Amino acid sequence: MAMTFAERLAQIRLAMQERGLDLLVAIHDGAHFIEKPNPVMVLTRFKSLGPAAALLDRDGQLSLIVTPAWDRDRAAEECPDACVVAADDVVDGITEARRRTGSTEQRITVGVAGRKFLPWAFAERVTAALPAVQPAVDDVVFGPARRKTDEEIAHAREATRIAELGYDELLRVAQPGMSEDELAVHLRHTTKMLGAEDNFLLLCAGPHNRAVQPSTGRRFAPGDIIVAEITPSYRGQLAQICRTAVLGRPSAQLTTKYRLVVEAMQAGISAAVPGVPMGQVCRAVNAVLERENYGEYCHPPHIRRRGHGLGFGSLRPGDVSLDNETILEPDMVFMIHPNQYLPETGYLLCGEPVLMTDRGAEPLTRHQAALGEIR
C-alpha cells in the first residue's frame, strides 16, 4: 500500500534531523513545467498561481507562503494544516512567516530546496533573506518523494484517463486541411473540460517527421503521420501518453516499424521490476532495436532517453537512460517511451505511464499504443 501524505512528511522531518536542519525552506517560482520539480507541492500538495514557498520546522509546523495575495483563501482551503501567509512578494512572505513562527534566530540551521531551479536574481534574494543556509538540500525533499503517495497515484490515474480521452478526440476530429495549431488548441480545450489543469502538449505532423515539436500553422495532408505527446496534469500530478496516427491507410512498412517500437516498449515495461536500476529498462528497449540493426539510432543525436519521471512534485526516479542507476521501488510513477527516429518512416511516438508495483511496472492506460488510422 502506498504511503500517505502524513507519512511522507514524517520521512522528510527524519531526513531534516539527520542533516541537522532546524528549518526547511522549499521554494518555487510558479512556472510549472514538466521538467521542473516543485518542492512546495511535495510539502503542501498546493499548486500555486505565482511564486510560493513552504517552511517546515523541526517540530513539524508547516507554513505556506502564497502569491498573489488574493489566492490566500484557496490555499487555506486546500492546506488546512498549514499556516498560510498571503504575500505579493514571496521573499517578504518568507520573512513574515519566520517572524510568526519564531524562527528568526540567527543560530538556527536552514536548508533550502528548489533554489537551483530559480532564476538567478530570485535565488540570490532568497539566499540573502536566510541566515546559516546549508548547501542545497533538495534530496531531503525529493528523496522521500521518489515514491508517490496514495493520493498522487489516484491523480496520476485520472490524468491518464484524461490523456486517453484526449487521444480519442484527436482520432475523431483530425482531418486533412486542419492545421496543427487548430488540433492542438482543440485538444487542450478538451482535456481542460475533462478536469485537467493544463496539458503540456507536443503535436506535429508530416510525411517524415524528424522529431516531435510544438504545433505550427501547417495544415494536415493525406498520408501525414501525426505524432503527439499528450501530457495533462490533474491536481498537480502529470501523466503522459505518446501516440502516432496516420491520415489514411498506413503503408505496410509503417505498420511493421511501428510494431517494432511497440515491442521495444513492451520489453522496457517487462524489464522494470523492483530492485533493478533504471538503466536496465533503457538497455531492454535498446536491445530490441539493436537486434534489427538500429543501434546507431539508439543514441544521441537521435535519442537520449527512453522515458522520464512524472511530477510536478518530484521527477524521481528520473530519466530512463543508460546512466541512471536509480533503483526502482514500488509506488514510483514514470514514463516508458521508446520514441524513435527510423530512417524509413521518420520519428514515431509510443509510450505509456507506468506505476511500479511489487510485481513490476503496471501501465496506467486502458489501451496501450497502437498505430492510429484516421480515415
- Distance, CA of 304 to CA of 221 (rounded, Å): 30
Q: DSSP states of 45-109 as a string?
A: ----SS-EEEEEETT--EEEEESSGGGHHHHHHH-TTSEEEE-SSHHHHHHHHHHHHT---TTS-
Maximum Cα–Cα distance across the chain: 71
The reported pLDDT for the residue numbered 142 is 95
Name the residue with higher pLDDT: 103 or 78: 78
- Answer whether 209's CB lies under 8 Å from 225's CB: yes
Share of the chain above pLDDT 90, in %: 87
The reported pLDDT for the residue numbered 130 is 83
Using the predicted structure, report yes or no on whether residue 207 has a pLDDT greater than 70: yes
Name the residue with higher pLDDT: 311 or 102: 311
- Answer whether 204's CB lies under 8 Å from 159's CB: no
Using the predicted structure, report yes or no on whether residue 102 has a pLDDT greater than 70: no
Using the predicted structure, report yes or no on whether residue 132 has a pLDDT greater than 70: no
**Domains recognised in the chain with CATH numbers:** 5-145 (3.40.350.10), 150-374 (3.90.230.10)
Using the predicted structure, report yes or no on whether residue 22 has a pLDDT greater than 80: yes
What is the per-residue burial (b if ≥16 Cβ within 10 Å, else e) of 196-222? Answer: bbbbbbbbbbbeebeebeebeeeebee
Q: In Å, how far are 32, 266, 309 from 325, measured between CA atoms?
A: 27, 21, 14
Q: Among 12-21, 56-65, 101-110, 131-140, where is mean pLDDT lowest?
A: 101-110
Q: Among 208-217, 286-295, 296-305, where is mean pLDDT lowest?
A: 296-305
- Distance, CA of 91 to CA of 123 (rounded, Å): 10
Residues 6+ apart with CB under 8 A from 136: 112, 113, 115, 116
Using the predicted structure, report yes or no on whether residue 106 has a pLDDT greater than 90: no
Using the predicted structure, report yes or no on whether residue 38 has a pLDDT greater than 90: yes
State mean pLDDT over 279-296: 97
Q: Report the chain's mean pLDDT, rounded to a whole number.
A: 94
Note the pLDDT tens digit of each residue in 5-16: 999 999 999 999
The reported pLDDT for the residue numbered 103 is 64
> pLDDT confidence of 104, banded at 50, 70, 90?
low
